[in-house]
Structure 1
Amino acid sequence: MVMSDNLEKRMVELEQELQLYKRFVKQLPFPFQFTDYSLGMVMKKKRGQHEPEIHSIVANGQDDVDLHLDIDPSTDLPFEQIETFLAPILDLVPHHIVFVDGNGIITLCNLQAANDTGVDRDSMIGKHIRELLKLPDELIMTLKSIEMNEPIYNQEVLDRYYGIINTRFIRNEDGSIKRVISMFQSLNLMKETEKLAVAGRIAAGIAHEIRNPLTTVRGYLQFFKTDLPDRIVSLIDKLLIPELDRANGIITDFLNIAKPAEVKAEKMNINQFITEDLGILLHSEALLHNIEVHYNLDERLNVYDVEADKNQLLQVFLNLFHNAVEAKVKKTMRVSISSKLYNNIVQIYFCDDGPGIPLTIIDHIFDPFFSTKETGTGLGLSLSRKIIELHKGTMKVQSSAEGTSFIIELPVNKQESAS
């Protein structure tokens, strides 16, 4: 009697397990084919079918199985899972890639798009694309693509994000828009590269046509000094030779822009670089010019390194400091240097409370030979930005009547011991 009850209970359990398997197979949203050669059976489910088909085959006596899945990610998987999978891959792409739904709401934003627009990419998810681009809706090509219900192919964008945009649609079964994939290729760097190529050709001509005669003139001035009156010797030493050296220095700076020195990169902690290497150099300069220097450093960066040429970075920051000194109009000036871990980069802010840069010229301050100073060559900021770009970073400027901020962004890597 007890055996009969146990057998009946086991039969009920097996029937429940069988029903569980059958219901599970019915719920699978994608087609598949499962072959069990030892049982001599094949289970096949086609797209759109609710019940699978089961057929017999010749058993081969071996315990072999074969499973083929026919998964269409756009219809068979929640697209949010696909975006989660794609996000770290698209972060490696050096172009802007943004996914939006049919209403222009961002569902994916890669790091390049976030870094170039100056936002935290995680905070952009769920927001309208206008909050990322900070442009009116009528100027946003992705929204135009949605409005026209057509993809865009290699269209030139002429707003502040100068470049080429492409959009593609992923649709629901009813034809409505599930996602618009927008990829934007910035051409600003190409434009700057063309400028530098022209500068390089000019620099080569300058070096050949001017540098050699300057060296000759300087040599003869030194040679004739012994036969000239003291008054003329003084003129040569205090005016002529320094002016020749200054002209030669201008040529050297311009050549450095066209063909910069090789980056001798080493791993270093950026906070330590700011407080120790740069801080020591700025301390005496700040006392000399009555400038207060303040630091605000992100402690999270203490376990991150940048790969950089220390001497070249010092050249950049010293140039920014000297520019701030030359712009000083008040008796005292405050300079603040701060660092911040942001996405996968370090942002370094070099800010002063000077009079600011007029809006009419701020777009030209990185152009070679552009200067508002009577004695300036207009090469310092051009060279500084080139150095940062050689370190795979970017250099930007923001300015108002309250002061000027230069923002330098460099890639960082977590220290191995902190992993």
Structure 2
Amino acid sequence: MENKNELERLKKENQLLKELVAKLPVSFTYVNPELELAVCKEKEQHPPSILPLTDSLKTAHPNQRLYLTSANDSFHHTEAFLSDIFDLVAHHIVFIDDQGIITLCNLQAAKDHGVNRDEIIGKHLRELVKIPDEQLLNLETLRTGIEFFDREVLDKNYGILNTRILWREDGTINRVIGTFYFLNAIKEAEKQAIAGRIAAGIAHEIRNPLTTVRGFLQVLTNTSDDETSNLFRNILIPEIDRANKIITDFLSIAKPAEIRSELFGVNSFLINYLGRILESESLLYSIDFQIETDPNADEIQIHGNQDELLQVFLNLFQNSFQAKGSSPLKIKIESKRLENTIQIIFADNGKGMIPSILNHIFDPFFSTKDEGTGLGLSVSRKIVENYKGTITASSDEKGTVFKLEFPIRE
């Protein structure tokens, strides 16, 4: 009975697909050498033909491709037919022609990029995405004829990109179809989660200076000599300034802002920016935290954004804290100048990871924690790669080591 029901379901699905293909207002041939089959359809044909892959078809169409079989057959009728369907899809779907001009853009893509869908049709892809041509993988597919499969992208947007090519029968490209799984909201959620985790650190750091201020204000109410003035000038004001600085630094992590790249010193970043924040976290959670910088790297700069790089190390710090063993947690960050690169090493003495987990820690959505999004290390890797750098990890029972390497900017 189950086999019979399964057969009936497959028949219905086959009929549905045939009817859908038949309604496409375009002539085409789709070949699949692995299955030894081809689907051929003339514009007015109903239903399409499914034929064995003959030698002539193999010769004419050697690859698994979709060929438009009439050079004069305009594809815009098919795009108009598909547009209403693609508007129901929650991801970005964009068609471009052989000049990079947008011929189809679904509503979700237009909404996320903040444009009018009808007005963007007929304009170049760069006007939709607002990034340079050399960074647009759809255009790279157009230039090279190479399709992308589940390519992780992090430029001004974050997501998973796929591209497919519709070929003309003469071997030229008719359309490049790009689908983009838009993950900016999830990336921001990960960022906000980090901000929430350090909220306890903010409260701790603010409470101590305010307690000091309150105590000395009580003294001021009962005294008015020079000693009071010295206390006000040398202790109270610096404590208030320190509290304000901590609030500014921590909240800048959570505040969405336009990412601006700049040259900044590696050692200065580690000591004056990253170190100040992680030292506060370490005091709160009784972590033995150290930073060592290579004097030979004092003048070395990298090009990027300090807030983004801070997010990378906050991710590593949080992972170390969650992986601590029975011994007190120790975290050490150090910089090393190599021949043509600057290396930043982040090491802990946590429980470590087994190889089967270590091999997947940078994969999107991979997480060993029930509450984790699985995007922290994936986003961190893309940030490092955007700075032309690399990040690798090693782990054993003694702890975990992350190594970040960036090219030296002369």
The structure with more radius of gyration: 1
Asked if these proteins are the same fold (TM beyond 0.5), I'd say: no
TM range (shorter): 0.3 to 0.5
Give the TM-score taking structure 2 as reference length.
0.40
